[in-house]
A and B are shown apart, each in its own frame.
Chain A
């Protein structure tokens, strides 16, 4: 067979491409809907025009982004059956349930109330209208929970038994499935990271306007809000990331070893964390590295004399357990994605702390500081993306850890040519939409918030008109 038409390779590329793309929009949706709800609540309680302006301004950016998250999400759900039918047959009894819950409880809620929010400004009482954006928030966050619970089953299968006759995994406890330790740590880690992405957007936008000395009335409070949100969400993301790595070491020790490119089991001071390695991170030769002793031991076990297993030792164990094969993921991918995720995450917290310091008591930072702040949004999105690349690539060669290899999950009857066609179609359409989306968001950002609305002279109320397509 022509190696370019290998269905497995093409399906993996397509899943990777469409998932990474989908997850550029979702974090912003989850983070921004929460932010918009907070701004609208502030307006509801204080009746200050600036909060209404911020609600509309970030609401507009949210909506441009929201549509992309919705339509690219349908692809995700269809792809399990289209490209990974043997996987679907194997896990459907377990994996399907959280997906169905997601649809029934979360997506309906989100999709219904977002329509009410967009079109309901002049049709619903103020308080009820505020409730619609909060219900949209609940829906989008709940959907994240179910999808992460489903993903956690792939990282750390729980609550199942294998039916040999049918050749599939069968659910034994829905409670256990939804309280998978990986899900319990990955969910808050991901949600707080989503808040970091939306904080990043607010910081970028506010910094851009403030560096031009415009829209001060709205952008000053927005910047402050964004900086605080980044610091708090950043701290919580770090904390939950720590919990996640503890759970991960238990469930997938190979992933932690691969994150460190650590070939040999190490204990205590030797279980060091390499901040930077020059040379070949495949472990063949090391030219130069900066290492922090004990840190890896601490990250993996929360003790300074813990033992962290190496790739070679795990490989031997897995060959005995699962038969011959290569059980390590691609080391340079896991090594560097892990570092970029942590590095960018910590950099964001530092930038935000510095931002709070340099803007204290109405002080104005220097030009170069604004220039750094403007990078908050793209960099926080990158951190989010490489985090998921690490999680998913670090799971390889498994599709469901210990149960089903990626190579065994692909649809046996879909040809390489068909997948090549779909891969090209998605790439072209997604590429074109990315350009349109980017330009629209940029335009909305540069335009800035609309002028403060004029209250009714008699009642003092601010009248709202509905957005119309």
Chain B
């Protein structure tokens, strides 16, 4: 296999890692107004992701840097083309990250509530805009002969891309709420499960329409099969949650997000950034990639590092496997 094909799928894998992991962080953040009745509830919610949000967020840094190294042209075109959208994502991620660390630094309720609001917005904006960004990549954007994006910010807000954004937002929301039900006990666990039953229905409808649109407009046979798998696991996850199998439901949601990302990448292949105005200006895995030497160096690094990374990150989740309840928060209150 050619290394640029390999790296196309490694980039896909990194974004799957990012969306599956930070996806539930976004969901937990967005769920604060729905599940967090009082400050103790909200602390329970935030503590479910407390030890791991930073490592989850790091996946986007690694994905971005790998994109830069493996497909510099793709990185340059996408990041300069989606300038304002990425600015909003950055501002949101900054607001969310500091809020986790700052909200507990002072006892006043007003102080905490303002940071909680920043967590909600800081989670919702990237959850929406990452979908919009990838929707536009799949749909294609106008590019000039030097591969520079020549549309405007508002061209990015087309119906297909907005539906993609709504899909990621709802997927992450339900994913995060189910995560809460696997990580808490007592009343909040029950409420999380029933919220996921409600939001899950909306998610199924929206995500299914998006997958159908993708398959009909931009899909191939392979991407259609992947989309079908995503739809099936999403429904299976919903049913598992309905029967009270929270952990199975969470696992199936993660698989759904994985297959949804694979659907998008399979629709793209072998393009990485199709030009909607002129096929000749499209970026492909051939004209966007680094040299075989650079890809070879990166492949060895990834090959050696991947098992170690998966090992210690998995171990971290195992260390923090216990459910959190209100009594933990009250016991540690200082």
Q: Chain A: residues with CB nearer than 8 A to chain B?
A: 63-64, 66-68, 70-75, 77-78, 80-83, 85-86, 88-89, 91-97, 99-105, 107-109, 111-116, 118-120, 123-124, 168, 170-172, 174, 411-414, 418, 421-422, 425, 429, 433, 436, 440, 443, 465-469
Q: How far is the CB of A255 from chain B (nearest CB, A)?
A: 27
Residues of B near A172 (CB, < 8 A) are 293
Indicate whether B78 reaches chain A with its CB closer than 8 angstroms. yes
Q: Are A77 and B76 in contact (CB under 8 A)?
A: no
Q: A78-B86, A85-B76, A99-B65 are in contact. Are A71 and B93 (CB under 8 A)?
A: yes
Known interface pairs A112-B55, A429-B94; A92-B84 also in contact (CB < 8 Å):
no
Q: Decide: A88 and B55 in contact? CB cutoff 8 A.
A: no
Q: Which residues of B contact A72 (CB under 8 A)?
A: 94
Q: How far is the CB of B124 from chain A (nearest CB, A)?
A: 17
A81-B76, A96-B290, A118-B51 are contacts. A63–B101 as well, Cβ < 8 Å? yes
B97 touches A411 (CB 8 A): no
Across the interface, which residues of A come within 8 angstroms of B34, CB to CB?
none
A64–B68 touching, CB < 8 Å: no
> Within the assembled complex, what's the spacing in Å between the Cα atoms of A413 and B104?
42
Q: Given A81-B78, A96-B290, A429-B95, 19 more contacts at CB 8 Å?
A: A66-B101, A71-B97, A80-B79, A91-B72, A92-B68, A92-B76, A96-B65, A100-B65, A103-B61, A104-B305, A105-B305, A108-B313, A111-B58, A174-B297, A413-B80, A413-B150, A433-B94, A469-B43, A469-B104
CB distance from A91 to the nearest CB of B (A): 8
Known: A96-B69, A413-B150, A469-B50. A77 touches B319 (CB 8 A): no
Taking the nearest CB of chain A, how far is it from the CB of B256, in angstroms? 25
Contact A123 B320 (CB under 8 A): yes
Q: Which chain B residues have a beta carbon within 8 Å of chain A's beta carbons?
A: 43, 46-47, 50-52, 54-55, 57-58, 60-62, 64-66, 68-73, 75-81, 83-84, 86-87, 90-91, 93-95, 97-98, 100-105, 144, 146-150, 153, 290-291, 293-294, 297-298, 301-302, 305, 309, 312-313, 316, 319-320, 328-329, 332
Partner of B298, one of A82, A89, A97, A425: A97
Q: Which of B87, B301, B313 has the most chain A CB atoms inside 10 A of its CB?
A: B87
Are A89 and B72 closer than 8 Å at their CB atoms?
A: yes
CB neighbours of A433 from chain B (8 A)? 94, 98
Distance, CA A467 to CA B320, complexed state (A): 13
The reply to whether B319 and A418 contact each other, CB–CB distance below 8 Å, is no
Given contacts A74-B93, A78-B64, A81-B75, contact A170 B80 (CB under 8 A): no
**Interface contact A468-B61, CB-CB below 8 Å:** no
Main DSSP-derived SS at the A contact region: helix
Query: In the bound complex, do residue A68 and residue B84 qualify as a contact, i.e. CB atoms below 8 Å apart?
Result: no
Instruction: Choose from B54, B75, B77, B329 the contact partner of A111 (Cβ within 8 Å).
Output: B54
Contact across chains for B46 and A421 when beta carbons are under 8 A apart: no
Q: Is A422's CB under 8 angstroms from B62's CB?
A: no
By beta carbon, the residue of chain B nearest A97 is B69
* A contact residues around B297 at 8 Å (CB): 97, 171, 174
**Bound complex: CA A73 to CA B54 (Å):** 12
Whether A68 lies near B79 (C-beta < 8 A) is: no
A75–B90 touching, CB < 8 Å: yes
Structural contact, B316 and A411, CB atoms closer than 8 A: no
* Contact present for B291 and A170 (CB under 8 Å): yes
Distance of A311 Cα from B194 Cα, bound (Å): 72
Q: Which residues of B contact A85 (CB under 8 A)?
A: 76-77, 79-80, 148
Q: With A68-B98, A92-B72, A112-B55 as known contacts, state yes or no: A73 contacts B80, CB within 8 Å.
A: no
